[in-house]
């Protein structure tokens, strides 16, 4: 089977500071990959290299494009990469303000990607937006309200709807539950799990919350100081960690 994404030896430094180094893995369609590690371990750097937000110093990020099969997104033209970013890919930011247009209504936020790929029927765009608000458990009566009037959890759910509306083939998420209250986190996690199951999403989720990967990720990569120190099936890694750092990570969670 062709992987959806094949990452080969990605490295990124900031001056002398290592962002991430020698990261390689394959992601297959329908798979959810979790990336965990302490603050500063290089999770966001890696994710941004994969999603085309950062240019890695070395390595390849091969994506299974619809037209031409596996293509290196690092070396493809910027227009082609931005086209992927607004069609086949989605990116959910930790801070919904980075992923939403705060001055645009909820419906407009969800509809933007549709319009970006050519939707020109207002009634249909609105119907789709309402359907997606429902799917992320936002009352349709709020469709014309701006996200600035939404709670943090609602904003995050709106950001997810805005990203999923065009049926992306690969979803990148950076700490999607970070910055939310614990009870709000739990609800968002349930919602995400439902969406992942129902839509068969392929996703890469960065988090330092092991509960998130336990619930969502099929496979797991553990990062430390920019390097992947352990990877494998989520349950295996969490229940029987091999690397000393992973053991520490798992045990510190168990103590909570």
Partner 1 sequence: MTEPLETHHKVNPRNAEYNFAYLDEDTKRMIRRAILKGLAIPGYQVPFASREMPMPYGWGTGGVQVSAAVLTPDDTMKVIDQGADDTTNAVSIRRFFEKTAGVAVTEATAEASVIQTRHRIPETPLTEDQILVYQVPIPEPLRFLEPRESETRKMHELEEYGLMHVKLYEDIARHGRIATSYAYPVKVEGRYIMDPSPIPKFDNPKMEMAAIQLFGAGREQRIYAVPPYSQVVSLDFDDHPFDPSKADHPCDLCGAEHSYLDEVIVDDAGGRMFVCSDTDFCAARRAQGHVGRLGTEDAA
Ligand X SMILES: Nc1ncnc2c1ncn2[C@@H]1O[C@H](COP(=O)(O)OP(=O)(O)OP(=O)(O)O)[C@@H](O)[C@H]1O
Among 50-58, 91-99, 103-111, 156-164, the segment contacting partner 1 (CB under 8 A): 103-111
Instruction: Write b or e for each residue in 155-176: b if 16 or more Cβ atoms lie within 10 A of its Cβ, otherwise e.
Output: bbbbbbbbbbbbebbbbbbbbb
Residues in the chain: 256
CB nearer ligand X, residue 3 or residue 178 = 178
Contact present, 206 and 175 (Cβ < 8 Å): yes
- Tell me the closest approach of the beta carbon of residue 253 to ligand X, in angstroms: 15
Give the footprint of partner 1 on residues 191-210 (CB under 8 A).
Answer: none
If binding is defined by CB under 8 A, does position 222 make contact with partner 1? no
How far apart are alpha carbons 196 and 216 in whole angstroms? 8
User: Interface residues for ligand X in 34-73 (CB under 6 A)?
Assistant: 37, 39-45
Handedness of CA 98, 220, 63, 116 (dihedral sign): negative
Q: Which is nearer to partner 1, 126 or 243 (CB)?
A: 126
Q: Which stretch binds partner 1 (CB under 8 A): 1-9, 109-117, 152-160, 177-185?
A: 109-117
| 126 scored as a contact of partner 1 (CB under 8 A) | yes
Q: Which is nearer to partner 1, 65 or 105 (CB)?
A: 105
- Give the span between the Cα atoms of 154 and 187, in whole angstroms: 11
Q: Show Cβ contacts of residue 206 under 8 Å, excluding neighbours closer than 6 positions.
A: 34, 35, 36, 43, 44, 46, 47, 173, 174, 175
Binding to partner 1, residues 131-190 (CB under 8 A): 143-144
Parallel, antiparallel or unpaired: strands 17-27 and 5-14: antiparallel
Decide: 234 and 36 in contact? Cβ < 8 Å: no
41 scored as a contact of Mg ion (CB under 5 A): no
Identify whether the C-beta of residue 222 lies closer than 8 Å to the C-beta of residue 229: yes
Smallest gap from residue 179 Cβ to ligand X (A) = 11
- 37 or 107, CB closer to ligand X? 37
Q: Which stretch binds ligand X (CB under 6 A): 14-22, 70-78, 122-130, 229-237?
A: 14-22
| CB 48, min distance to ligand X, A | 8
Q: Which stretch binds Mg ion (CB under 5 A): 18-26, 39-47, 189-197, 236-244?
A: 39-47
Q: Which stretch binds Mg ion (CB under 5 A): 38-46, 55-63, 215-223, 240-248?
A: 38-46
The two three-digit tokens of residue 163, written as one number:
């990203």
Rounded distance between C-alpha atoms, residue 122 and residue 179, angstroms = 34
User: Interface residues with partner 1 (CB under 8 A)?
Assistant: 78-79, 82, 86, 101, 103-105, 107-108, 111-117, 120-123, 125-126, 143-144
User: Interface residues with ligand X (CB under 6 A)?
Assistant: 14, 17, 19, 37, 39-45, 208
């Amino acid at each position: 089977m062709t992987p959806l994404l094949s990452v080969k030896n990605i490295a990124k430094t900031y001056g002398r500071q290592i962002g991430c180094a020698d990261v390689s893995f394959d992601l297959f369609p329908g798979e959810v990959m979790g990336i965990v590690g302490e603050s500063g371990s290089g999770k966001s750097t890696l994710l941004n290299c994969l999603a085309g937000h950062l240019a890695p110093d070395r390595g390849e990020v091969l994506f299974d494009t619809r037209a031409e099969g596996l293509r290196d997104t690092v070396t493809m033209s910027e227009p082609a990469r931005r086209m992927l970013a607004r069609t086949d890919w989605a990116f959910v930011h930790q801070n919904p303000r980075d992923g939403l247009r705060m001055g645009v209504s909820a419906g407009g936020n969800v509809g933007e990607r549709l319009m970006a790929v050519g939707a020109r029927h207002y009634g249909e765009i609105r119907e789709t937006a309402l359907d997606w608000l429902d799917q992320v458990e936002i009352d349709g009566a709020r469709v014309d309200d701006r996200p600035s009037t939404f709670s943090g959890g609602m904003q995050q759910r709106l950001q997810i709807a805005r990203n999923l509306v065009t049926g992306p083939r690969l979803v990148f998420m950076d700490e999607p539950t970070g910055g939310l209250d614990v009870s709000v986190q739990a609800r968002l996690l349930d919602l995400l799990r439902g969406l992942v199951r129902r839509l068969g999403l392929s996703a890469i989720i960065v988090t330092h919350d092991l509960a998130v990967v336990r619930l969502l990720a099929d496979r797991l990569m553990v990062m430390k100081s920019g390097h992947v120190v352990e990877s494998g099936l989520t349950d295996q890694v969490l229940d029987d960690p091999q690397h000393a750092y992973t053991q520490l990570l798992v045990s510190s969670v168990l103590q909570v």
